[in-house]
Structure 1
């Protein structure tokens, strides 16, 4: 389930990509599949072990071009261990809402991006996220949880203040917003609640089968209740 639109971002074979806060690796896998040289970057060693195993399996099974390279790297998003302008593309999906020093993280994302390169940032959208916070403290008030809710224009301004040029915004995962509202309403510590499990089965079916009806419904609902907002930027070449 991708939040970043890779066609819009423009990742191509031979480009260099860092996926900062890669989590389970979904965007790293897609970049690798498209032939990019990928760094899957996160601070969670256990998660990175799984990501590395999948990247290796993709390579072994020919699911990425032979010329592409990928590695999983543990580190701190506030101090990326790369030189200025090291990457053609930088992805930061669903991480900034977790970071107390988000301005410092944004500065690092911009620093390692090449002039002429592109940055994609996604965060939970204000309205769906606000509903979750109102329904449940447990949803966000936990170690490593969400510490802020962004307005899209607020985040856009933080990034353009670093010299990047904003060029597109879209919303994603509208069908997931009601799922999280439901989890928050019944208790996030109750994953086996019948309503939650039923909705989860529907989401899995949708992701695996991608039927026309739910794809169309989500495209219509995304501007209204899309769970995430994705913002795209370019670093001026000069």
Structure 2
């Protein structure tokens, strides 16, 4: 069964989403230094979203808070990492999970590195919660803030890992989804699209990264940028909407 709403993005103004979002395809890399063999990267064939696409990504009555992509701007009261950490602690999850901070140079097609190898997996899912197929809809969302000084992009595949598992696993109901399922899905010549959404300094996002393959990118940027991130169970609308 295909995903009816593979990527649910909260927005008020379709024009605002169109202004900061592009769409493209993906490519695989093999034997390239610094990358896992088979890593999935954006193809670089970016084009504007068509006017009808925002409606396809709009949430519906079945969209759970845990499955929603949201964008926000930090309030002016947040001036440093300490005040940001305090703010995250007040968003409704009493036990948010802090993740490793990043500081990425400009010009990187993807930024995530595997801590055990230092290699980049490319577009991937965050399976640190090790949830089953049935449970990954309720996974903690990732909250990530761009601390600057440069801009960056969030990369989101529009096909969920659950859709990939249904296509490549005979017993997907008891399977624990992994990035390798996404790779197998692509290996079966399935086509996917990836969104590239601009995140300026002082802005951030929440996304179900255990469900949607993702990464970040500093490609086409001139300055480095740092991030701070957490995992948590947060209701929709804990920040005012950015778009």
TM score, norm. by length of structure 2: 0.26
More strand by share: 2
More helix by share: 1
Of the two, which has the highest radius of gyration? 1
TM score, norm. by length of structure 1: 0.27
Q: Which has the higher contact order (CA 8 A, sep 6+)?
A: 2
